[in-house]
Amino acid sequence: MLVIRRRQGEALLLGPDIELSVLEITPSRVTIGVSAPREIVVLRREVAETREANKAASRLPNQGVLGEWAARLRNPRQHFPSDPPPPAR
């Protein structure tokens, strides 16, 4: 990763069109200004991760899989057919 030190009021350029400015620095957070063309999507990383996680979560397994996992949660020590076999002795 490229690491660059900047002070409050200084900026970085990413390519010809995108500028990141350090607007304010406090002990716990940094306020960053982003100037970019409209078509550039700017997201907080955790928002982007949540979007992807939600899309994945919207793909449901069949009812049998749901039922089996529910049973696993209710009976954590029970053995299920889809578990890997116990190691041979």
Partner 1 sequence: MPEPSIHYEFPQGLPAFERETNFRLLEPPAIHPLALLESLSTPGLRFVCIAIHWLVPSYRFELSDDEKSNLQGDQDLKCLALVTFPENGSPTANLRAPVLLNPVTRRGLQSIQTDSSYDLFHPLHPDPPKGPSCS
Residue placing its CB nearer to partner 1 in the complex, 24 or 52: 52
Judged on CB neighbours under 10 Å (0-12, 13-18, 19+), 6 is middle
Helix (H, G, I), strand (E, B) or coil at 48: helix
CB of 51 to partner 1, least distance (A): 4
Q: Check: CB of residue 19 under 8 Å from CB of residue 8.
A: no
Nearest to 11 by CA among 2, 1, 23: 23
CB of 48 to partner 1, least distance (A): 9
CB of 50 to partner 1, least distance (A): 4
Residue placing its CB nearer to partner 1 in the complex, 38 or 59: 59
Residues that bind partner 1 (CB under 8 A): 44, 46-47, 49-61, 65-67, 69-70, 72-74, 76-77, 83-84
